[in-house]
Structure 1
């Protein structure tokens, strides 16, 4: 039950609805009890024609008995029987009417909790730094957002109704049972805690395997995702058997864990029913003993009603025991969801951030260092990029080029030193404004399963068709777009699968052109293209770079010969800097890199 407070923040705005639900459930229970418990006095009165209960003041059964005695005396037994049937039907109709109203009120509350929980998880994923997604398994993240939420829905949210309704029924029935026989009800209470303890111990054992199941499912989803994404490589290297074996192992592990959970969960309902029957038999023995000895006011017909009332709480108790199992099962999923929602975000905005309305002077790196865990990626970087200049970063893989440019839009934060734009530390800038000044074209073009138009206008909002067309024309994308059946409304497929590599890259360039940022980051934007596509894309990039401050991560060095400054990096440090001609003349690291590519 400790998980309910975790969900309270999603429910507290609906406190009024929950109060109405409680009232409707209470009325439904009252009418259910009325229709059930009036049977005994009705039968006694009709078939004996006299009052058989002592006149206990305030006892509802005595009131009902007296009423039917009066009806029999004045109108006869048939009229009394008619009244009883009508009252039972009326009470049943009212019971179900209030039950329906309670469900109509509660269901939107439950669904709203799930809606807000999904929104919070998605918003959290958008707010987390890029570093989080490089460290966590993609499949595990997807599992948290889908399967864990689904488990919370079925195991926790789905039983809110039971948690709220069944205690009302149990309490109301127990109060009624006390009015009928205090000794018998107290005797019954000796056994209920024992039954609850046994059920609780079984339910508690569900949490650990449930957590294991969610983690195993995350691993399996990760394997599915990487297999589907890398299907070309899997087939090219005849790795189907390897991937199949990996999946089968994970799937079998999940199968075993799920069976363990089901075995323990399914034991709950039979166990609670068996314990209930045992208690009933004990009550029969003790109650019969009270009647035979003449102790108390309980008579045979009302003892039958008493047993019937006890059965009225067996189902609610069984439901609550199932709730306990489900809550333990769902607790693991909710813990994983809560763990994700409470993940610390180290890319935070100041309370009073500095607005950024443009770029006028320079980007300056001052003694910047950065590490992933214990691995140092950048070491004491000092670099100034003047407005309107093109600076190229070159070096071997792992030299720190991509990490360096990721620090500018605060995809990561520096761990020592600082980066300033026009003299303002980027950590003091308003993040939205900062990123608005920067356009990014990466090596792998990122497109979403949407239209070409929506992919180009991503993040801009309110763009006119004329502006989109102009951006596509500059990016050399207009021609192939117009050849599509639906032109700009053509769907690009998942990850742009319906477009060629060059076409995907030109769409991303058009996106950057439409954004019209003063600062441009090009992360090896042509390295994955064939020669023909590279030329078309490079022409588009040249158009994009006009009148902008450009930072280019270069793989093919021939594309950056005209850069205003070339920065050569090795193991996170700047080892050389200068123009192409200056660096060639020094015959250092850059000269070796150029020579190697020319030799190839």
Structure 2
């Protein structure tokens, strides 16, 4: 329960007003519950004629005897004047009014609880998404995408269905139980103290069974993350699955995961379904014990209660049973929800490994140069860049070439701080990247990657992505520079055409030209091109290459290229090999050097 209250402490504060109103309405509902039940005592007394008529008033005082005495005085007067039948009807009307007020305040309390519940769930999903945007790329390389999706969907839903659905019970039932127990304590202290001894024993038994749910529930949520990972991989690789006739293999993998999930959920559900029968049994046992004990006291004339008062006392106690049973059911659900919350917290409490300095400086443009100074970087224990130094003057184009895995992409990923260097520094106009504001730093740069990353939105919104308040003329101008305008206007709805998941309705060259248009519209002083033409056919490559040349004019550019023909005119070409720059120079200089670049060039020419 300590973990449950920690969760409430984290997410409930914005809803203090609703919490106070919920408490007030539930308190009133509980008070009218007691009133509606105790009004049954005079009805029973009249029916069974067990109460003598009262013809004298007592001075009003803050004690139960004075209230009961004077209440029976007014009932006696009314009964003598109007008869027992009309008296019963009058008392019944009071019971109806009390019940109406009871259920009315009950609804108002639930109304406020719904606002809290849905608000907390919304806040939770919002916090997860915001944290996902803040986390550095290394976090996502270690986590499965399907598992992350499972946490923001399935786990949050599980928290909503267990912890947040139990919230109303925790806001309402304690108040009901306390008010009812207080009234029982006033009616019969001895009987109520006996109940205080019996109820905790039943609660302990149920609590012991409920604790086992948390571990099993966590296993189920982890397995659901694995299932969603398989689904995500299947949708992303459907073309390859079909091409290699691997449907049977993928189906077997998915079926295996589903079978494991079913086994886990069978164990979980069997234990959870034990909640109702167990609480029903223990509730019946407690009631029988209370009836036996109270009946023994009344029969031996050793009780503070009369027979009719004992019936009302039992009716009040019965009103406690349902909230108490709800507690037991909620305890089971909460254990399941806490397991999901643990998985959510793995994201919410993950360290932001690319932090921004508290006194970070603003930067708006590149004035002089970018310098890599003795930079070393490793993924875990694998060194990818080893003591690399390079100066990139403003307005120059630097090309990075070399075999796959030589460190080129890592080299450019360090510039926008997707990762931080292990040793050395990267400087912009003499200032360390880590001393600059992260948003300003990335605002200096535009990226065009080998795989065009587009969104299932309109062409206009994809080009204008990351640029606030972009106008249609500005977007069209960027598309024209990127050689994209002609194919865009031929689509069904022009710039309002939705391009599908990851731009699936467009060809590879069209997707790449939209990426270039997006970079042109952003108009960054520094441009990063990561093999932007390597996946295209010859005609598309020519169109994209022309667009890139338009984009690179008067701009500082870092270009990764496998096709050396695309970087012949670069101001400087750096040859990477096993995390080091082993050659650097212009195309003609490197050819004359007769080294690794000449070898790569000869292979491509051949």
Report TM bin, short chain: over 0.9
Q: Give 1:337 shift.
A: 1.2
Alignment of 1:477-556 (within 5 A): 477-556=484-563
Task: Find the residue that maps to 1:532 and give its secondary structure.
Answer: helix
Q: 1:397 aligns to what?
A: 404
Counterpart position of 2:4:
3
Consecutive unaligned residues in structure 1, runs of 5 or more = none
**Pairing partner for 1:564 from 553, 566, 571:** 571
Report the Cα offset of residue 306 of structure 1: 2.1
For 2:88 and 2:443, locate their aligned partners in 1 and report how far apart those are by CA, in whole Å: 80
| CA deviation after TM superposition for structure 1 residue 126, in Å | 0.5
Q: Which stretch shows the higher mean deviation, 342-351 or 304-313?
A: 304-313
Q: Distance in 2 between matches of 1:194 and 1:594?
A: 83
Give 1:255-404 correspondences, 5 Å limit. Answer: 255-404=262-411
What corresponds to 1:576 in structure 2?
583
Q: Is this contact kept in 1: 2:169–2:326, CA < 8 A? A: yes
* Deviation per residue, 1:276-325 (Å, 9 max, x gap): 10111112211121111110232222222222222211110111111111
Instruction: Give the aligned partner of residue 58 of structure 1.
Output: 64
For 2:223 and 2:74, the matched residues in 1 are separated by 65
* Alpha-carbon separation, structure 2, partners of 1:388 and 1:405: 17
- Alignment map for 1:61-460 (pairs within 5 Å): 64-460=71-467
Runs of 4+ in 1 over 6 A off after TM superposition: none
Instruction: Check whether the contact 2:53–2:76 (CA below 8 A) recurs between aligned residues.
Output: no
Deviation, structure 1 residue 270: 1.1
Q: Deviations over 1:366-419 (max 9, x none)?
A: 000111111111100100111111111111111111111011111111111000
Report the Cα offset of residue 123 of structure 1.
Answer: 0.6
Give SS of 2:529's match.
strand
Structure 1 equivalent of residue 470 of structure 2: 463
Equivalence for 1:20: 21
- Aligned equivalents of 2:487, 2:17: Cα separation in 1: 58
1:162-202, Cα deviation, whole Å (9 max, x unpaired): 00101111111112222222222222222211111110011
Report the CA distance between 1:32 and its aligned residue.
1.7
1:38 aligns with 2:36: no
Counterpart secondary structure, 2:370: strand
User: Deviation digits for residues 420-478 of structure 1, max 9, x if unmatched?
Assistant: 11111111111111111100000000000110000000011111111111100010000
Q: Distance in 1 between matches of 2:353 and 2:51?
A: 80
Q: Is the 8 A contact 1:453 1:468 kept in 2?
A: yes
Greater CA drift, 203-212 or 349-358: 349-358
In the TM superposition, residue 63 of structure 1 has moved relative to its aligned partner by 5.3
CA contact (8 A) 1:45 1:65 kept: no
Give the aligned length.
Answer: 598
The 2-side partners of 1:51 and 1:505 are apart by 95
SS in 2 for 1:369: strand
User: How far 1:46 moved relative to its partner?
Assistant: 4.4
Q: Helix, strand or coil for the counterpart of 1:206?
A: helix
Aligned to 1:156, the other structure's residue is in SS state helix
Whether the 8 Å contact between 2:53 and 2:73 is mirrored in structure 1 is no
1:391/1:563 contact within 8 Å kept: yes
Moved more, 141-150 or 305-314: 305-314
Q: Would the alpha carbon gap of residues 245 and 117 (structure 1) be closer, same or farther in structure 2, given more than 3 Å must change?
A: same
Cα drift, residue 49 of structure 1 = 7.1
Partners of 2:279 and 2:423 in 1: CA distance: 61
**Structure 1 residues 495-526: Cα deviation after superposition (integer angstroms, max 9, x where no partner):** 10111111111000000000011110000001
Unaligned runs of 5+ in 2: none
Contact 1:366-1:418 at 8 Å conserved across structures: yes
Q: Give the Cα–Cα distance (whole angstroms) in 2 for the partners of residues 43 and 65 of structure 1.
A: 13
Confirm or deny: 8 A CA contact 2:214 2:339 kept in the other structure.
yes
Instruction: Return the TM-score normalized by structure 2.
Output: 0.96
Deviation at 1:241, TM superposition (A): 1.2
**8 Å Cα contact 1:405-1:521 kept in structure 2:** yes
Structure 2 SS opposite 1:378: strand
- 1: CA distance, partners of 2:6 / 2:344: 14
Q: Is the 8 A contact 1:25 1:165 kept in 2?
A: yes
1:488, distance to aligned residue in structure 2 (A): 0.4
- Name the CA shift for 1:254/1:455 in 2 (closer, same or farther; >3 Å): same
Instruction: Report how far residue 64 of structure 1 moved.
Output: 4.2
SS in 2 for 1:191: helix
String of CA shifts for 1:89-138, please: whole Å, max 9, x gaps. Answer: 11111112211221222211221111111111111011111121112111
> Partners of 2:596 and 2:72 in 1: how far apart?
105
CA shift at 1:52, angstroms?
8.5
Mean CA deviation greater in 190-199 or 173-182: 173-182
